[in-house]
Amino acid sequence: MKRFWIIAGIAVCHFILSVVAMVQSFGMGMSRFDSGAPPSPLEQFVAGAHAVLSFPVLFIFMRLHGDWMRWFSGLAGYIPFVANSILWALCLYWVGAFVYKRTVEASHAYQSDAANRR
């Protein structure tokens, strides 16, 4: 059950960051829309963060030339965002568990090796 809550927490954080990055990027772009000014470094960073956070699910849907919006209309439009966040959470959890397991194994091997030298 602990694993579920860790994955859910990561997914919620990712979802919030994704939505905030998307809204900020859109808002920053609209504020300079009439002037035609180039994007600021902060705007470029936020847009880049949104691009990274929306990969891979939203990236795939965007390549479908707008047809995906027909599948997910209304509140169902959040489904790709939630699916993307869950995918990120599962991958981050798996990588974290793998690194933790390898670190613990290396630590135990080092400790047993040090004990054998005495």
Render each residue's pLDDT in the chain as its tens digit; 118 residues: 899 999 999 999 999 999 999 999 888 888 787 787 888 888 889 989 988 988 888 778 777 766 666 777 778 778 888 999 999 999 999 999 999 988 887 776 666 655 556 5
Angstrom distance (rounded) from CA 106 to CA 110:
6
CA–CA gap between residue 118 and residue 116 (Å, rounded) = 6
| Sequence ranges of the domains in the chain | 2-117
How many other β-carbons are positioned within 10 Å of the β-carbon of residue 94?
Answer: 11
